[in-house]
Amino acid sequence: MKKLENKVAVITGATSGMALATAKLFVAEGAYVFITGRRQKELDEAVESIGSNVTGVLADSANLTDLDRLMETVKSEKGHIDVVFASAGTADFAPLGQVTEEAFDKMFDLNAKGTFFTIQKALPLLRDKASIIMTGTIATIKGMPSLSAYGASKAGLRVFARAWTNELKLRGIRVNVLSPGPIETAVFKGNEDVKAHMASQIPLGRIGQPDEIATTALFLASNDSSFITGSEICVDGGMAQI
């Protein structure tokens, strides 16, 4: 039996990279997936690449009206949610002296506020024993230059996971944070020197692949992780661990 047979999953920000790889794997493992993106062209391409058992919803996770529309779509088409993966996020790489107010607000609006209200809006549709997954970052663990605002915007997710684990424990809903290290996504396109430098900082000697995030998300979404909640799993090749 497939690990997500007959499950309904919502994955935000899933038009590329790690979240798109996760959506594809979830469908392959039996789930029906709702994905979001902020650009219609990329959203349509992602839906086409997934192929079946998927609905694309144009939505910005920082916009509460968009989140309401997303959940109304899920409610009308499927009526419930078994897995919500709040993956939509953004990063602006800049040292302390160069971070603009606009960039700061953009990161906190999407990474912190957007994640919080994605879960809040999904809550009425979540079945008992559902799984909530949030995309964190190892930048909350390591003092990474030029990532102070980004790391701070993600640090709250760890607090969310702990608090919500207590709030939702009577329903058996599990809440966890999946924190990637450097992963082969568009951010490294044309930046081979940066990629090589990052790889040199990782004990396993390479940056990760989107599929390695997807398989970890599958673990957290499925019954394989039935005794894991309130936790953070770092998928970082050991970068933040030693």
pLDDT at position 191: 78
Residue 240 lies in a domain: no
pLDDT, greater one: 230 or 186: 230
Q: Considering its fold, how many domains does the chain have in total?
A: 1
Percentage of the residues of the chain whose pLDDT score is greater than 70 = 100
Among 214, 224, 127, 126, which Cα is nearest to 178's?
214
pLDDT(59) > 90:
yes
pLDDT(86) > 90:
yes
What is the arithmetic mean of pLDDT over 138-166?
A: 96
Task: Give just the sign of the alpha carbon dihedral 88, 105, 38, 45.
Answer: negative
Contact yes or no for 16/92 (Cβ under 8 A): no
Out of 150, 160, 164, 219, the active site residue is: 150
pLDDT at position 189: 78
pLDDT at position 188: 78
Residue 121 lies in a domain: yes
Contact yes or no for 108/102 (Cβ under 8 A): no
Residue 225 lies in a domain: yes
For residue 32, indicate whether it is catalytic.
Answer: no
- Residue 108 belongs to what domain range? 8-235
Residue 242 lies in a domain: no
Residue 151 lies in a domain: yes
pLDDT at position 167: 98
What is the CATH classification number for the domain harbouring 109? 3.40.50.720
pLDDT at position 197: 87
pLDDT(194) > 90:
no
pLDDT(99) > 90:
yes
Contact yes or no for 174/131 (Cβ under 8 A): yes
pLDDT(190) > 80:
no
SS3 at position 37 = strand
Token pair, residue 218, equals: 């599958």
Read off the pLDDT band of 195 (50, 70, 90).
confident
**Average pLDDT over the chain, rounded to an integer:** 96
pLDDT at position 192: 86
Residue 74 lies in a domain: yes
What is the arithmetic mean of pLDDT over 98-116?
A: 98
What is the arithmetic mean of pLDDT over 129-154?
A: 96
Residue 20 lies in a domain: yes
Residue 2 lies in a domain: no
